[in-house]
Structure 1
Amino acid sequence: MNPVAHAVRLGAARGWIEFKQHIGNPQELWFDVVTTAAVVVVIFLQRGSVVPGTTFSLAAATLPSVIGMSVALHGVTGGVAALAVEREDGTLLRVKALPQGMVGYLVARVVSVSANTAAGVLVMLVAGLLLVPGLTSAGPGGWLAVAWTTLLGLLFALPLGAIVGSLATSPQTAAGLSMLTVGGLTAVSGVFYPIAALPAWLQGLAQVFPVYWLGLGMRSALLPDAAAAAEIGGSWRPAQTTLVLAAWAVAALLAAPPILRRMARRESGSMMEERRHRAMQRVG
């Protein structure tokens, strides 16, 4: 069997096993629980409000945006957390010593994080269908658009998470960097409030980054056409959404491999021992 194909098969199997272990371990589900609970609280607080200038529910407009944000959040933080921890505990060094070990390792990360993200999106959609009646109007085309937008989001979020995780010096630093990255982008992307209500310069800044377009893509998939009146230009701009997300995905996919190769080449027993020593000092 081709060594690369064998590594891909083993990596996919490992990623699926990790996903099943994740959903079967209550202690590891805390992030998903907190995220979903936050969505429910936001929707509950907005249940009596409408999008400015329309009669459309603000809760219905917020939920798709939050789902788009969660794709970026899960994709980035999932990649960052695993890579940072497994550099420190020596897993990455052991993987590096195996034939095509890094290929299998990266495939496992992609499968595991993608499955976790898809499960999180599904839970939020179910909660939204129960709490926001307006979302039930999405037909087969809408659900297909949700899947397509999620895929584009993962294509930029996963390599971005790998880049951040490879640059961080510790799991704590990695967690801070990932939350700062996604949190900063979310703050200006109209996730919790219609972007058309923000100052013009913030609207322009938001459109440079992918989180805004993830939210827009999800809103276009799940909301009726009339809700587009609250968007920039009064349109869902599906072609621009696809192009911007695809551009970010291509940029991240091109940047991640050389950065990860450089990180893998630098891994050594002495570096692992140094990181372990620093970790013990933090614990002590």
Structure 2
Amino acid sequence: MTTNLMAQGASRLGLETKIYFRAPDTLFFTFFFPFVMLAIFTAAFSASGEVGPPGNEISIGALYLPGMIAAGILLSGVQNLAIDIALEKSNGTLKRLGGTPLSPVGYFLGKIGQVFVTGGLQAALLILAGWLVLGIDLPTDPAKWLTFAWVFVLGLTTCALLGIALSALPRSGKSASAVVIPVVLLLQFISGVYLQWDMLPEWLQNIASLFPLKWIAQGMRSVFLPDGWEAAEQGGTWNLAGVAIALGIWLVVGFVLSRLTFRWIRRDA
């Protein structure tokens, strides 16, 4: 049984990945969007010079890199899957799949696997672009890369499950983008992705702390920003234990909601 599910998941993974890279709108709004935003912010604000606490100044590109990686995780997981699955419900794809031997577990193994393939490639290219094109110094401490690995895996899994759950919200495939994109965009603005975290008012920081993106971005800042920058965080520390706890809670929430809301066809169909 387990072998059959893994085979179904592997088969769906190949198909889902091909579909992803053949969709220009998906490629732009989920894969290349963080690259575009990193380039825009770097070009717009680089004239102001380096920023940060004395002795720990960094370039604008280095400041925005961890936020763009976090945004890519959110886009790859939540936005990509929420819109994609909603469209498949609307156009009858899921109904047809429900009449095949494919199990929901195999289907979602393929979806989540595709998120890891594309999200991992996106993060790797962002880091390489930051290093080779923008001249950003990368961490040399292996512990930093270990932190990157667990924040990335936990964050992407959490976002994938939340994307599956959110796909039940749009009433049709046509409304999926209108429902999902504003939510994702708002979270990016309040979670320290586009605006420097310590510039946000405390009440807005508290609201952002209720959602996973803030914690993913904080975890990524702990990896790519130098010592001294943790003073700008709530509590004055990177609080990696808090990152793990918050993402763990959202992982459970996403899993439960995705199990409760997913159907091969809409309930009102």
What secondary structure does 1:191 align onto?
Answer: coil
**Which amino acid in 1 is paired with 2:244?**
T
Contact 1:217 1:238 in 2 (8 A): yes
Q: Name the structure where helix makes up a greater proportion of residues.
A: 1
Q: Is the 8 A contact 2:130 2:136 kept in 1?
A: no
Greater Cα offset, 138-147 or 210-219: 138-147
The alpha-carbon deviation at position 27 of structure 1 amounts to 7.0
Letter in 2 for 1:8: M
Looking at structure 2, the residues matched to 238 and 132 of structure 1 have their Cα atoms a distance apart, in angstroms, of 27
| Structure 2 SS opposite 1:208 | coil
How many matched pairs? 265
Q: Which runs of 5+ in 1 are unaligned?
A: 272-284
* Deviation (angstroms), 1:14: 2.0
Match of 1:239 in 2: 241
Change (3 A) 1:252 1:62: same
The aligned counterpart of 1:170 is 172
Is contact 1:228-1:236 (8 Å) kept?
Answer: yes
Distance in 2 (CA, whole Å) between partners of 1:266 and 1:30 is 28
Question: Superposed, which structure 2 residues align to 1:208-227 within 5 Å?
Answer: 208-227=210-229
Distance apart, 1:26 and its partner CA: 6.2
Quote the Cα distance in structure 2 between the aligned partners of 1:148 and 1:46. Answer: 31
Note the C-alpha offset of 1:244: 0.8
Query: Which position in structure 2 is the counterpart of 1:73?
Result: 75
Shift of 1:203: 1.7
1:250-261 matches, within 5 Å, as 250-260=252-262
Give the whole-Å Cα distance in 2 for the aligned partners of 1:266 and 1:188. 32
Q: Is the 8 A contact 1:72 1:211 kept in 2?
A: yes
1:1-284 aligned within 5 A? 2=1, 4-20=2-18, 22-23=20-21, 29-31=27-29, 32-47=31-46, 48-51=48-51, 53-54=53-54, 56-57=57-58, 58-260=60-262, 263-264=263-264, 266=266, 271=269
TM-score by length of 1: 0.83
Q: Which runs of 5+ in 2 are unaligned?
A: none
Task: Give 1:266 deviation, angstroms.
Answer: 4.7
**How far did residue 253 of structure 1 move?**
0.9
Decide whether the 8 Å contact of 1:83 with 1:162 is kept in 2: yes
